[in-house]
Amino acid sequence: MIFRKRDTPETPEPTQPVRPGSKGRPTRTRKEAEAARRRPLVVDDRKEARKRDRARASKERAEAQQALMTGDEKKMPLQHRGPERRMVRDLVDSRRNVAEYFFPIALIFMLVALVMPLIKPDLYVTMSTGMIVVLWGGILLCVIDSLVLRRHLRKRLTEQFGSVERGLVGYGIMRAIQIRRFRLPRAQIKHGEQPR
């Protein structure tokens, strides 16, 4: 009985009223916050996640490729979207560019230059000078045509949009160099038509 504790009635702890604007609970310890943030670095089902990502990327690529063929701007890759880029494409596609005709001719000349020494070496020597003149002349014409196109694009874009966004003129010149049927996005207008 000596060591026995006295039975004292337990008094409930007074609850403090919650102040307006407070959380109403004690702040977490650092250990608790770090534990809540922890999540596994590796997904449980990596193969399934990888397969899903591949399928999604494949679908997006297929949609973008289809958009390049049909001209659907909403699904095109970002570098081809926007009214300025559409206008540049239409301006390039509406004119006949020297480069789109020159490059197939240059390719034929190069094939002839490879085959001719095997067939007729003596004729090749006389033809080579002519081919070099034609090739360099064609390159010069392509450069002049690109400068004319550059000036035309800058003028029309400034009239339409007030300024020329960086990279638009280069975008147009690179398009002009390509053979018309291999251009992506596909040409939406014919030669001589006005831009949309």
Q: What is the mean pLDDT of residues 104-117?
A: 87
Chain-wide mean pLDDT for the chain?
86
Query: What pLDDT digit, counting tens, does each position of 129-176 carry?
Result: 888 898 999 999 999 999 999 999 999 999 999 999 999 999 999 999
CA–CA separation, 139 vs 157, rounded Å?
26
Residue 92 contacts residue 179 (beta carbons within 8 Å): no
CA–CA separation, 101 vs 179, rounded Å?
7
Please indicate whether residue 150 or residue 4 has the higher confidence score (pLDDT): 150
194 closest CA partner among 97, 71, 96, 94: 94
pTM above 0.85, yes or no: no
At position 117, the amino acid (one-letter code) is: P
CA–CA separation, 142 vs 190, rounded Å?
21
Position 81 scores a pLDDT of: 92
Residue 115 contacts residue 127 (beta carbons within 8 Å): no
What does residue 8 show for φ and ψ, rounded to 5 degrees? -110, 140
Given pLDDT bands bounded at 50, 70 and 90, which one contains residue 44? low
Query: What pLDDT digit, counting tens, does each position of 45-87 carry?
Result: 778 888 889 999 999 999 999 999 998 888 899 899 999 999 9
CA–CA separation, 191 vs 82, rounded Å?
22
Domain boundaries, the chain: 50-81, 82-196
Instruction: Output 178-183 pairs: Cβ under 8 A, ≥24 positions apart.
Output: 178/99, 178/100, 179/100, 179/103, 179/104, 180/93, 180/100, 183/93
185 closest CA partner among 58, 93, 59: 93
Token readout for 56 is 């999604």
Neighbouring C-alpha atoms within 13 Å toward the C-beta of 134: 14
